[in-house]
A = this chain, B = another copy of it.
């Protein structure tokens, strides 16, 4: 009798990991944008964020939209500008939940 039927049953492990979330972080420019935004500790406009990316402003705008749609950023318009900020709670919670689920499946050897 194998261990297959005795698999751990974390709360919806599979659904915990959304491709869109990770796809958003699979591009160097998007990571740079997120890091820049996190390090600034305050909402930043698109033009401001363009400083960390050697690409066209329209590309930055699109990258930010991807991060926003994936739930990593939040967008808020103030006047003519749109300020993006990091969805800290969501990111931290998501990462920790996955870490916990993985750990629950591989409890031994936690050296």
Taken together as a complex, chains A and B put the C-alpha atoms of A17 and B99 apart, in Å, by 15
Per assembly, the copies of the chain total: 2
On chain A, the number of residues with a Cβ less than 8 Å from chain B's Cβ atoms is 43
Does A111 have its Cβ within 8 Å of any Cβ on chain B? yes
Majority SS at the chain A contact face: helix
Taken together as a complex, chains A and B put the C-alpha atoms of A19 and B23 apart, in Å, by 9
Q: CB-CB contacts of A1-28 with B at 8 A, as 1s and 0s?
A: 0111011100001100101001111111
Interface residues of A (CB under 8 A from B): 2-4, 6-8, 13-14, 17, 19, 22-28, 31-32, 34-35, 38-42, 86, 88-89, 91-92, 95-96, 98-99, 101-103, 105-106, 109-111
